[in-house]
Amino acid sequence: MFTAYFVIYLVALGYDLAAAGFLFSLIVAVAVPCRVLWGWLGSFHLAPRLVMAGLALGMAGSIVLTGLFTAAWPIAAMGLVGALLSATAMSWHGILLSETARLAPPGSAGAVTGGVLSFGQIGALIGPSAFALLLGLTGGYSIGWALCAFPALWVGVSLLRPVDRGEALPARTAVINRNQG
């Protein structure tokens, strides 16, 4: 929703289209170095699962804050929240895909990462329409932004839960054995 609605949202709050677009371009630029940063952190300093949990929780929080914007918010504050949203929502792909490939059964990294990406693309396809429906039903952006935070919050909390290795290993072993047989 961020890329589809952020500029329109700022315009609806009374900002000039060019100013809103310029702020968006600055905010999106934050994503590029953050992708490298998250990969570096998850490769050398923190468990990738912990990095992804932090990204998901940061995404949820910044989405909720985005829904709280009003015309009274200073543009710098909106830019800061937008930068946090960009640093999380636009930068998580690399670490997710590298961790997915690492955990995939041998010889299945392409299929597994492709499957993970397909779920993201389904969200990218359905999400803006669902957001538009909520916008039409409620007449405002806040509920749409708040609802967008729930999946990120769920993922963040789920990633913080301990992994039960006893359940995960037999399923993976079965796939490995099936591929070898």
- Residue range 87-101, pLDDT digits in tens: 998 888 888 888 888
Q: Quick one: how far is CA 71 from the chain centroid?
A: 26
Residue 57: phi, psi to the nearest 5?
Answer: -70, -40
| Mean pLDDT for the stretch of residues 92-121 | 84
Query: CA of 53: how far to CAs of 46, 135, 169, in Å?
Result: 11, 29, 22
Percent of the chain at pLDDT exceeding 90: 24
Domain at 46, CATH number: 1.20.1250.20
Concatenating the DSSP letter of every residue in 55-80 gives HHHHHHHHHHHHHT--TTS-HHHHHH
Give the total residue count for the chain: 181
Number of domains in the chain: 1
The per-residue pLDDT for 77 is 93
- Report the pLDDT value the prediction gives residue 171, as an integer from 0 to 100: 44
What is the Cα–Cα distance from 135 to 146, expressed in whole angstroms?
Answer: 12
Name the nearest CA neighbour of 86 among 28, 146, 33.
Answer: 28
5 neighbors 141 (Cβ within 8 angstroms): yes
Among 12, 3, 35, CA closest to 135: 12
In this prediction, residues 33-52 reach a mean pLDDT of: 86
Q: How confident is the model at residue 1 (pLDDT cuts 50, 70, 90)?
A: low
CA gap 176, 106 in Å, rounded: 7
Evaluate if residue 111 carries a pLDDT over 80. Answer: yes
**Nearest Cα residue to 149 out of 37, 42, 32, 65:** 65
pTM recorded for the entire structure: 0.77
Identify the residue with better confidence: 171 or 32.
32
Q: Which residue segment(s) compose the domain that 149 sits in? A: 2-180
C-alpha distances (whole Å) from 71 to each of 64, 65, 146 are 16, 14, 18
91 φ/ψ angles, rounded to the nearest 5 degrees: -125, 5
